[in-house]
Amino acid sequence: MTALFGASRQAAVENTGHGVRSLGVVIRTTFPEVKARMSFTREELRHLHRRSIVLGTAIFLLDFSGFAAGSIGAVLAQSALLQLGLAVLAGLTIGALHLVGHDACHHNLTPNRWLNRAIGTLSFLTGLYRYNLRELAHNRTHHRFTNILGRDYVWEPLTPRQYRRLSPAAKLRYRVYRTFAGHFWYSLFEFWLKKLFFPRPSEIGGYRRIYYVDLAIVTAWLILWPLKPPI
């Protein structure tokens, strides 16, 4: 363990000339070999990029059914152990639906743009995301300006000078957000609330009509979904 995580604080990965040294282990793979393994023929690329209405819709319906069964079952179940299991199922399928929504938002799930829009909207409802604001934040901001200060605003760091100018409370909040436990609070307040649910007009270039439509959809979901189903 000392050899792997010693006090020298060397970079975790370094080029040795004969391969790649990663955490003290030399991987005997040269760059040409890696490049050769990552090369695909046109036919292989077409296969990898193939989209299917049937498969994409089936994946969405499977995950959404799991979410519905888990969340409704957790409310109706009489056994605490069964409630816990169903709640875990609901949580896992919310994560799966986020992945489905991600691919639909990139229009990689099916070849039909309107179907992608519908599936993405329904998938993101479980995370209370507004589809078009999610598209703005992820597709048109994060992917275009990845890690560029002032443009990619997810986990955007402060410079030492900016940090020193903060109030003690703001410094504490900044440090807490960058802990493991602080991820939830950062995502909730700084990203979801301010960027994806109810952002200032100045942050998104003004409100478009479709943003209000998305807000109405998510609001309707918030009202209707928690209603107790009839027994």
CA distance 222 to 204: 23
* Cα–Cα–Cα angle for 70, 72, 74, rounded to 5 degrees: 65
Weakest-pLDDT range from 45-49, 206-210, 213-217: 45-49
pLDDT band at 38 (very low <50, low <70, confident <90, very high): low
Nearest to 125 by CA among 9, 22, 222, 201: 222
Nearest to 134 by CA among 191, 64, 96: 191
Average pLDDT over residues 132-157: 85
Please give the residue that has the higher pLDDT: either 10 or 63.
63
The answer to whether the CB of 113 falls within 8 A of the CB of 51 is: no
Over 60: is that where the pLDDT of 231 sits?
no
| Model pLDDT, residue 171 | 94
Q: Which strand ranges, in their side-by-side order, compose the sheet holding 13-15?
A: 13-15, 20-22, 25-27
pLDDT band at 18 (very low <50, low <70, confident <90, very high): very low
Q: Read off the amino acid at residue 76.
A: L
Convert the pLDDT of each residue in 117-132 to its tens digit: 999 999 999 999 999 9
Please give the residue that has the higher pLDDT: either 46 or 36.
46
Weakest-pLDDT range from 4-18, 19-33, 94-108: 4-18
